[in-house]
């Protein structure tokens, strides 16, 4: 409760600190417009044209449906990997053998290109929701798993000893000693996992689905409709930036105040 | 009567013998210090007495109602501010959060941190300040037995003296019993009723010194004289491998 109040209290100040970021984005848009003036509309539509298309698309219920489908897939996949990755990572971290054995498997999962997973998933699940969600899970799971694993493996033995010397009850040991440490590893892993889900969902949809933003992108490609393609990209980037900078970053700042 | 009794204590780490046949008794109200060179098993002995390590051979009997431990390094929780760190022990003893916070603020003021520092995280404190917060945390629970593992070694002489004065005050009121580890012989002479000399490889007690004069009456002269006397002692010279200044190595 106290945390939420502090979060809301510091929020306006955080937003105000965003002018630099906005200036940088506007500069980027300006460079984009220069590119448009050099190469013309077919290769690179102007920002104005793109945002115009974007506005028109957002008024279309079919597009809104696509956005919702993509959001649903990305979040479902993300939550599955969040739950699985956190729980399994914590468990593996508590047992030396399990963490030793899981390392190579994680390397295999991380090293396997997502595109290969998509192909496999298409064979296993066909052109369906499952294919996309499966790919999202398989791509973001290892990131979260490793975060949880690292968090548990790096618990400080000296602090544990200190806790023992004060005879801290189990509940306090968990909430005051273990949890803050593990969370400081887990939370950034969740953030990267979410970013990964967002990128993978589009790729999987583009190749293995008939609806969603990724499929829209595939259609735009086949029609050589650059403004629509760019508008879809803008939706993706805009929503990612919103989640990352407006939702997650303020939380991250508050929970990591104690860090150097 | 509360007491800590250690008898025939041996300890091994793997095949290395760290402690060999340690025997001593610490009575209520006493200050016992263990001095010896670094790496001689002092910290291991203290951990065994405090129950932070399991006793393998021999006996450690502790009948003190409460105890706390001040470590060589501060060991503060980096995600908790000064006050929450100090109140940790109180909360573990089941104190109410508001009462514990209030009590911790009082104690903090006594040990150095000021009201401005209360909300700071350990990363924003100086090394000496962290050490004093850790010391305050150990004393906040009003332990009847206090284990000290060179808690003053990181402090400058002024702060060291300040902390020692607080301890001497508690000692003279007989409100605390202390088992103290140090490699600083002067510090040991200033604070202890009894000093045990621990020789390394494996750690064993080679000599025992007692001081009758109450700690409050020990002035600099007393401390310097006793130190000079002890430094002449053959056993001390051998244990710390002291050589006269100017002697060839």
Q: What is the DSSP string of B85-119?
A: HHTHHHHHTT--HHHHHHHHHHHHHHHS--GGGTT
> Which domain does A143 fall in, by range?
69-248
Among residues 182-241 of chain A, which lie with CB inside 8 Å of chain B? Answer: 184
Closest-approach residue (CA) in chain A for B140: A166
With b for 16 or more beta-carbon neighbours within 10 A and e for fewer, the A14-28 pattern comes to: eeeeeeeeeeeeeee
Does any domain span residue A176? yes
- Could you give all domains of chain B from N- to C-terminal order, each with its CATH number? 14-45+52-65+144-162+171-216 (3.40.50.300), 77-141 (no CATH)
Q: Mean pLDDT, chain B, as a whole number?
A: 87
Does any domain span residue A212? yes
Does any domain span residue A172? yes
DSSP-derived 3-state class of residue B181 = strand
- The total number of structural domains in chain A stands at 1
Does any domain span residue A219? yes
pLDDT at B150: 87
Does any domain span residue A259? no
Does any domain span residue A61? no
Measured between CB atoms, does A168 come within 8 Å of chain B? yes
| Tens-place pLDDT, residues B29-48 | 899 999 988 888 888 999 99
Min Cα distance B52 → chain A (Å) is 7
Chain A contacts of B73, Cβ < 8 Å?
158
User: Over 80: is that where the pLDDT of B174 sits?
Assistant: no
- What ipTM describes this predicted complex? 0.85
Min Cα distance B93 → chain A (Å) is 8
Closest-approach residue (CA) in chain B for A260: B123
Q: What is the pTM of this model?
A: 0.81
Measured between CB atoms, does A158 come within 8 Å of chain B? yes
pLDDT at B230: 84
Q: In the structure encoding, which two tokens stand for residue A199, read together?
A: 């990128």
Q: For chain B, give the percent of residues with pLDDT over 70.
A: 98
CA-CA distance, A186 to B180, in Å (whole number)?
A: 40
| Tens-place pLDDT, residues A152-204 | 988 888 899 999 999 899 999 889 999 999 998 999 999 999 999 999 999 99
Inter-chain residue contact B79 with A169, CB threshold 8 Å: no
Closest to A161 (Cβ–Cβ): which among B52, B77, B123?
B52
Min Cα distance A252 → chain B (Å) is 13
Min Cα distance A130 → chain B (Å) is 41
pLDDT at A149: 92
CATH number of the domain residue A206 falls in: 1.10.3720.10
- Strand B3-13 and strand B57-62: pairing? antiparallel
pLDDT at B122: 92
| Tens-place pLDDT, residues A68-102 | 999 999 999 999 999 999 999 999 988 889 888 98
Q: Identify the band that residue B248 occupies on the pLDDT scale cut at 50, 70 and 90.
A: low
Does any domain span residue A28? no
Q: Identify the band that residue B242 occupies on the pLDDT scale cut at 50, 70 and 90.
A: confident
Q: Identify the band that residue B163 occupies on the pLDDT scale cut at 50, 70 and 90.
A: confident
Measured between CB atoms, does A26 come within 8 Å of chain B? no
Does any domain span residue A10? no
| Tens-place pLDDT, residues A99-135 | 889 889 888 988 889 899 999 999 999 888 899 999 9
């Amino acid at each position: 409760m106290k945390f939420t109040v502090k979060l809301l209290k510091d929020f306006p100040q955080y937003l105000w600190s965003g002018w630099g970021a906005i200036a940088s984005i506007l500069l980027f848009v300006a460079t984009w417009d220069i590119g448009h003036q050099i190469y013309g509309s077919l290769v690179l539509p102007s920002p104005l044209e793109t945002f115009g298309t974007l506005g028109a698309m957002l008024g279309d219920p079919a597009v809104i449906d696509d956005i919702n489908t993509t959001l649903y897939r990305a979040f479902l996949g993300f939550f599955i990997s969040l739950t699985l990755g956190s729980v399994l990572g914590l468990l593996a971290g508590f047992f030396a053998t399990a963490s030793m054995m899981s390392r190579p498997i994680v390397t295999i999962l991380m090293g396997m290109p997502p595109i290969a997973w998509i192909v496999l998933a298409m064979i296993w699940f066909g052109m369906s929701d499952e294919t996309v969600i499966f790919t999202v899970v398989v791509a973001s799971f290892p990131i979260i798993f490793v975060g949880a694993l690292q968090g548990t493996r790096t618990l400080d033995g000296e602090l544990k000893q200190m806790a023992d010397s004060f005879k801290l009850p189990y509940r306090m040991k968990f909430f005051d000693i273990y949890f803050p440490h593990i969370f400081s590893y887990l939370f950034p892993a969740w953030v990267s996992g979410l970013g990964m889900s967002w990128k993978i969902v589009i790729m999987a949809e583009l190749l293995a689905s008939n609806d969603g933003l990724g499929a829209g992108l595939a259609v735009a490609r086949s029609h050589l409709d650059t403004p629509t393609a760019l508008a879809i990209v803008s939706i993706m980037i805009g929503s990612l930036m919103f989640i990352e900078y407006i939702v997650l970053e303020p939380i991250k700042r508050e929970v990591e105040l104690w860090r150097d | 009567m509360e007491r800590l009794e250690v008898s025939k204590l041996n300890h091994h780490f793997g095949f290395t013998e760290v402690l060999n046949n340690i025997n001593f008794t610490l009575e209520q109200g006493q200050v016992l210090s263990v001095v010896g060179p670094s790496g001689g098993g002092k910290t291991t002995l203290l951990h065994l007495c405090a129950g932070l390590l399991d006793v393998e051979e021999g006996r450690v009997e502790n009948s003190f109602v409460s105890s706390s431990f001040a470590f060589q390094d501060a060991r503060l929780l980096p995600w908790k501010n000064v006050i929450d760190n100090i109140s940790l022990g109180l909360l573990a003893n089941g104190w109410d959060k508001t009462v514990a916070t209030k009590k911790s603020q009082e104690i903090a003021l006594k040990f150095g941190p000021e009201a401005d520092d209360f909300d700071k995280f350990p990363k924003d404190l100086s090394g000496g300040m962290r050490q004093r917060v850790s010391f305050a945390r150990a004393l906040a629970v009003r332990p009847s037995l206090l284990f000290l593992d060179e808690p003053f070694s990181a402090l400058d002489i002024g702060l060291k003296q300040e902390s020692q004065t607080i301890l001497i005050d508690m000692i003279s009121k007989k409100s605390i019993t202390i088992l103290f580890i140090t490699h600083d012989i002067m510090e040991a002479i200033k604070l202890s009723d009894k000093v045990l000399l621990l020789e390394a490889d494996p750690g064993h007690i080679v000599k025992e010194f007692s001081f009758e004069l109450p700690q409050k009456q020990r002035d600099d002269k007393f401390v310097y004289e006793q130190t000079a006397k002890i430094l002449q002692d053959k056993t001390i010279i051998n244990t710390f491998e002291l050589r006269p200044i100017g002697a060839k190595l």
